[in-house]
Structure 1
């Protein structure tokens, strides 16, 4: 049954998952957008790491619906891992894994801004198979399936390449979330021909790269729920990703950081070189 479902997804049968993601957002996220009370917002690890009742409820909703779609699968969700870090180890198991970030861009959500999304990816043995990026306030759904391309609201998208000589627009780890060493590495992007800026929702930054409206990202953390969906989306749109060690980013962890995802391999290599201080 597991293999049949995975074959179904890889053949483009993503409608059930899209519906599950939309239902979770409609039930748990949208009704709370711009309606959060102060007691419904909690600091997890300081003032820049927030969680809301909507995050927790949406993850619970997705956990129930996604595992029902694929019996035998497990969920690695941001809030579940915060409660029990050992949950993260499921990424290395043989079971199919749903990687879930119920609200990517919680700060934007709390501020009542539209720049947030729900991220779901399906992986097995560390390999990304499919992903879903849904921006409820924008009503945009991006889907990627391994070997079958990427779509936005059903229409194929391609990342393309930056125009020759164009200034590269790069979304980087936000200063609020970076250590001093990470800041020094990211300073390599402060050079002629590159325009770095702090990122918003990582999922929406990846979507911008996949659409060809952002040239690259440069991130200094590796939590799978922030990156899995977007990395597959960028790859299936024709883009590339690499760590500073020149290796692909692995969702199971242990990556050399920072890493980049870019519209094409040449851009990824240029950003990697700058991050290495070369």
Structure 2
């Protein structure tokens, strides 16, 4: 068994442990510190990330880049969102998750997303496919008929007008749009064939990397997120069933994304 295999098994157990901690803390959530008008930092975020960092350090001595405590890119590094979909988490809705990705020399090798309230565990290993609760995943292939369904994320780092323009062009092209409030879960839904694509004009690496590997391993297409220092600065994200690639790339705000 390779070092990556060891780490994958560990990450699966760790995501489950982190999810249990997050659920246990929700009843006594306490003070919520506003980070921006659409994002919150809770005691649970901090506690879950601290748990993940401690476990990875004890097991492997691996460095971590996390949403709450940051970190520095390295040859091998974990990229962690302790709770993606924090607003959903606070309001008691199910679309939130723990997202863990392992990046080695600029390549995502492992992606694990655990959605505790949905009892869903998404796992991907580069070159070995993607699963949901042990079941192999494939993107939709647009096999369900009708117009495509694409989830859209919104980022305050890009002008609102660009996001509205993107949605307008999607509607004109018979592409239905949805928003679930978690980029990681949005990408996991693409891998599972629940939706046909996910787009966001800017997203951070900890929200995206695990889900992007899931989509690729499920047969879908994604842009080269890590190009242009995406690990440190974030990037635009486009992920979809392969049959939808050209249509999304033709939309004005996404033109040229590859």
TM-score (norm 2): 0.88
Q: Which runs of 5+ in 2 are unaligned?
A: none
Alignment of 1:192-203 (within 5 A): 192-203=173-184
1:51 to 34, 37, 41: 41
Structure-2 residue corresponding to 1:68: 58
Q: 1:77 aligns with which of 66, 73, 84?
A: 66
Aligned to 2:45, the other structure's residue is in SS state helix
Asked if 1:33 is matched to 2:26, the reply is yes
Aligned runs of 1:1-278 on 2, under 5 Å? 4-6=2-4, 8-9=5-6, 14-26=8-20, 28-37=21-30, 39=31, 41-44=32-35, 46-71=36-61, 73-81=62-70, 87=71, 89-90=72-73, 93-94=74-75, 96-163=76-143, 166-174=146-154, 178-186=158-166, 187-242=168-223, 248-250=224-226, 252-253=229-230, 258-264=236-242, 266-276=243-253
Gaps of 5+ in 1: 82-86, 243-247
Task: Quote the Cα distance in structure 2 between the aligned partners of 1:240 and 1:64.
Answer: 34
How many positions carry a matched residue from both structures? 252
Determine helix, strand or coil for the equivalent of 1:163.
coil
What is the TM-score with the length of structure 1 in the denominator?
Answer: 0.82
